[in-house]
Structure 1
Amino acid sequence: MDSKYCPDCGHPSSIKRIDRKYIIHEIEHVLHFERGILYTIRELILNPGENIRKYLSENRSRLVKPIIFIIVTSLIYTILTHLFHIEDGYVKYHEVNDGTVSTVSKIVKWIQEHYGYANIMMGIFIALWLQLFFRKFNYNFYEVLIMLCFVMGMGMLIFSVFVILQAIMHFNVMSFAGAFGIFYCVWAIGQFYFKSKVSSYIKGFFAYILGMVTFWIFPVIIGIVIDVVSK
């Protein structure tokens, strides 16, 4: 008797042919549209602290997976900057042009072309500072990193909005994008820890800034060491 499934492993005896519906379903599955990426964005705008805390301790099916979220939002920002030819982005690096390309320049260029991975790495540095400033709270390093994936992912969407505004208005507004992005991230971090205390936002601000600074110092040091050793 023919069966649709293997009696040993339970896999289908035959698989459907890959077509348009299959591709659409796979994209929806990766982005978790069926679970509400727009719902996730709305919740992270209205009440990020409470929703992230619920994700960590109660329900992990309501929001998009955090790693996927920050990679996708960073990809959206990267696509928009290339589409509208806004090359400077929200981070600028200038180097004296002497005809050579240093390792630091190569590393910075890679970071600017891979914001998804770079944001996760930056989140590691910010998480370390948050662990230091908020050591009295019972969140481990990985939980803080997950929180930052949501928060920094929303930051990338804020930058994306400014990219679109600049393309429409033909006026440089990207200089304001960083301020708005940092404001949201600091506000969301403060909401996550203790939203009724001003000190939460102050410590969140310094942790975020110090995390960004140490993140950008790290590739510079690595690049300089590589250049010195290779000479």
Structure 2
Amino acid sequence: MTCKNCNSEVNLNYCPQCGSPAKLHRIDGHYILHEIEHLLHFERGFLYTIKELFLRPGQSIKHFIDDDRNRLVKPIVFVIVCALINTFVTKIFDIEVGFIHIDTKLTAMGAIFNWLENHYGYANLFYGIFMAGYAKFLFKKYKYNFFEILVLMCYVLGMQMLIITLFLAIAFATKIELMPFALILMMIYNVWSISQFFDKTKVMNYLKALISHLAGFITANVLLGLVGIIIEEIKRH
């Protein structure tokens, strides 16, 4: 047989050059159940990823980047699934996150920030780019490039979304205002994870982690605000 991926000769179940299976199984009910089981598997799936990022985030992400890309769910998949969970919970229970709120929806700036408020999970992907940029600058003596740090931010922001989602659900069920505690816990987790990834023994790294997170968040919002102002000016003329 010939590999359909790289055209190499295949005599076994997998291609010796690229590792692709010699024969793909049909997509049926068994295939779908297997994929779901693979995603939720506690040894190397979504639940395992949550456990590792909860117990040892910095070490787990560093191990993913440097040594083993198979045990954790891929960063983009992880952050998208976390965003879907966040969106599902907030929509099904009609919960408002309420981090950034502009009173009027009639302006371009109001429309932008109200979209962010209603799509908090996906907005985190945008914020993560700026946070990764600041982290790359502040931790420039370390070997990691921008995209590797962006992987770090995807995992950290994914867990941040799960923390917020959990507190929103508890607040909805108990009618107790828990968002201040959620924000504090979220910030502690972010700083702890980022500093642990680089070097948890250095006190300055905790401050750098906090600055990169806050500066990225503020810069992204300022940029979006300027975009809103520019759009309004264009509309006026």
| Change over 3 Å in CA distance of 1:124–1:46 after alignment to 2 | same
Listed as ranges, the matches of 1:5-154 within 5 Å are: 9=4, 15=26, 18-19=28-29, 21-28=30-37, 31=39, 33=41, 35-87=44-96, 89-95=97-103, 97=104, 101-154=106-159
Provide the aligned C-alpha RMSD in A: 2.2
**TM-score, structure 1 length as denominator?**
0.85
* Higher RCO (C-alpha 8 Å, min separation 6): 1
- Is the 2:98–2:117 contact (alpha carbons within 8 Å) kept by the matching residues of 1? no
Cα distance in 2 for residues equivalent to 1:140 and 1:133: 12
**TM-score, structure 2 length as denominator?**
0.83
Letter in 2 for 1:121: F
Q: Could you say which residue in structure 1 is the equivalent of 2:10?
A: none
- Is the 2:53–2:60 contact (alpha carbons within 8 Å) kept by the matching residues of 1? yes
Q: Could you say which residue in structure 2 is the equivalent of 1:211?
A: 216
TM-fit CA distance, 1:26: 4.3
Gaps of 5+ in 1: 1-5
- Is the 1:190–1:200 contact (alpha carbons within 8 Å) kept by the matching residues of 2? yes
Gaps of 5+ in 2: 5-21
TM-fit CA distance, 1:84: 2.0
- Is the 1:75–1:115 contact (alpha carbons within 8 Å) kept by the matching residues of 2? no
TM-fit CA distance, 1:22: 4.2
Cα distance in 1 for residues equivalent to 2:80 and 2:90: 15
Letter in 2 for 1:117: Y
The one-character-per-residue Cα deviations of 1:83-138 (angstroms, maximum 9, x if unpaired) are 22211x1513132x4xx611112222332333343212111100111111111111
TM-fit CA distance, 1:32: 5.9
TM-fit CA distance, 1:172: 1.5
Q: Percent identity?
A: 38
Letter in 1 for 2:119: H
After TM superposition, the structure 1 stretch with the greater mean CA deviation from structure 2, 64-73 or 104-113, is 104-113
Q: How many residues align?
A: 218
- Is the 1:186–1:204 contact (alpha carbons within 8 Å) kept by the matching residues of 2? yes
- Is the 1:50–1:192 contact (alpha carbons within 8 Å) kept by the matching residues of 2? yes
| Change over 3 Å in CA distance of 1:8–1:136 after alignment to 2 | closer
Are positions 1:164 and 2:169 aligned together? yes
Cα distance in 2 for residues equivalent to 1:113 and 1:146: 24
TM-fit CA distance, 1:28: 4.5
- Is the 1:70–1:149 contact (alpha carbons within 8 Å) kept by the matching residues of 2? yes
| Change over 3 Å in CA distance of 1:203–1:7 after alignment to 2 | closer
